[in-house]
């Protein structure tokens, strides 16, 4: 690992099979780094008190972001007394300071992500995205950290502004991506709860997952995190999760709860129900994210990496 970035532009990656990510591939993802990926100015602001512009507060080196209800963790000096008097509730001004930005990635590498019918596994795509986000953060002189959710638990890597820290993140991704283990019951909600405990206000958080076990505990943690930070969710799908599979019989394995079942996709009623369930699930997730000021993206394993980078840079 000492030569992690040595001769970075001379590295030639071997043809990847889309199953097991390599360190060389993660290093190669630097090619797609883009400072817009880690911009903290694209926050979705949902407030009747906020205008459609950003105001520079002179003398503080900060950008005014929005006004929201005051919480016990906020600085009393930032209370907006005019809004507080008008609404009879304490409201505080929120600022962003990009020069001190910490970027955290929640990377879901559990067995449910080891699925793919086209081009690559979902966990492989999640790893590629982590590579792009990591390199983008470093190119922008930001701190980069990660919470890697695995079958057995979680790997926590605090945010630091160094190539060695990114090297540590990549090394753990290579170790845990596409592992042969089974999920011991570790839920995405547990990873989000741990992140919530250590996260500093004003951070940028990327959640890379298929959100297959998105529950009330996940919602609770994301609501809390999003109230003090800029959160971006990247829902990673396989194409067959978006639309019913080709006609035929399929043996389906539940990698979260265990067990298997045989399904037959040649029944038009089954296909219609399958498509409807998929659309409803995605719609429900999008509605939750939007209502909590979380910018959400959907990507799948048939999309081109360049197109994905453009998409999440908007």
Residues 61, 136 share a domain: no
DSSP state for residue 245 in the 8-state scheme: P
pLDDT reported for residue 70: 83
Q: Does a structural domain hold residue 7?
A: no
Beta carbons within 8 Å of 255's beta carbon, 6+ residues apart: 110, 111, 112, 114, 115, 182, 183
Q: Does a structural domain hold residue 205?
A: yes
Rounded CA-CA distance 251/178 in Å is 20
Residues 131, 200 share a domain: yes
Q: What is the CA radius of gyration of the chain?
A: 21
DSSP state for residue 179 in the 8-state scheme: -
Residues 292, 237 share a domain: yes
pLDDT band at 191 (very low <50, low <70, confident <90, very high): very high
Residues 258, 197 share a domain: yes
Residues 88, 36 share a domain: no
| pLDDT digit string, tens, across residues 98-156 | 456 899 999 999 999 998 888 999 999 999 999 999 999 999 999 999 999 999 899 99
| pLDDT digit string, tens, across residues 277-297 | 888 999 999 999 999 999 999
Residues 194, 80 share a domain: no
What's CA 51's distance to the chain center, in Å?
Answer: 27
pLDDT reported for residue 262: 75
Query: What CATH number is associated with residue 229?
Result: 3.40.50.410
pLDDT band at 308 (very low <50, low <70, confident <90, very high): very high
Place of tokens 């820290």: 165
- pTM over 0.85? The answer is no
Rounded CA-CA distance 179/182 in Å is 9
| pLDDT digit string, tens, across residues 201-244 | 889 999 999 999 999 999 999 999 999 999 999 999 998 888 77
Residues 198, 266 share a domain: yes
Q: Does a structural domain hold residue 4?
A: no
For residues 33-61, average pLDDT: 52
Strands 230-237 and 204-209, bridge-based pairing: parallel
Q: Residues 137, 144: contact at Cβ < 8 Å?
A: yes
Q: Which range marks the domain in which residue 78 is found? A: 56-99
pLDDT reported for residue 7: 36
* 270 pLDDT higher than 90: no
Residue of 40, 43, 36, 105 whose CA lies nearest to 293: 43
Residues 153, 84 share a domain: no
Residues 238, 168 share a domain: yes
Report residue 302 as tokens.
């048939």
Report residue 298 as tokens.
């959907």
């Amino acid at each position: 690992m000492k030569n992690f970035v040595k001769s970075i532009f001379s590295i030639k990656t071997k043809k990847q099979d889309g199953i097991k990510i390599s360190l060389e591939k993660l290093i190669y993802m630097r090619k797609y780094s883009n400072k817009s990926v880690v911009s903290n100015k694209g926050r979705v602001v949902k407030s009747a008190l906020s205008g459609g512009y950003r105001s520079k507060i002179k003398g503080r080196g900060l950008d005014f972001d929005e006004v929201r209800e005051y919480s016990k963790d906020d600085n009393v000096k930032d209370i907006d007394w005019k809004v507080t008097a008008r609404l009879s509730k304490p409201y505080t001004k929120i600022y962003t300071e990009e020069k001190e930005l910490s970027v955290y990635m929640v990377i879901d590498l559990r067995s449910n992500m080891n699925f793919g019918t086209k081009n690559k596994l979902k966990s492989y795509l999640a790893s590629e995205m982590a590579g792009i986000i990591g390199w983008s953060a470093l190119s922008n002189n930001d701190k980069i950290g990660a919470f890697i959710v695995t079958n057995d638990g979680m790997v926590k890597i605090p945010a630091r502004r160094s190539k060695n820290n990114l090297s540590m993140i990549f090394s753990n991704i290579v170790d845990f991506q596409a592992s042969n283990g089974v999920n011991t019951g570790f839920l995405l909600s547990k990873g989000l709860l741990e992140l919530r405990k250590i996260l500093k206000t004003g951070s940028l958080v990327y959640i890379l997952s298929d959100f297959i076990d998105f529950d009330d505990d996940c919602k609770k943690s994301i609501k809390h995190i999003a109230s003090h930070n800029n959160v971006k969710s990247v829902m990673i799908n396989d194409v067959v999760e978006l639309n019913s599979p080709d006609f035929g019989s399929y043996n389906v394995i539940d990698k979260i709860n265990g067990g298997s079942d045989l399904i037959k996709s040649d029944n038009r009623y089954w296909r219609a129900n399958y498509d409807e369930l998929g659309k409803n699930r995605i719609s429900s997730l999008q509605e939750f994210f939007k209502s909590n000021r979380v910018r959400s993206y959907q990507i799948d394993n048939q999309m081109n990496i360049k197109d994905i980078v453009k998409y999440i840079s908007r």
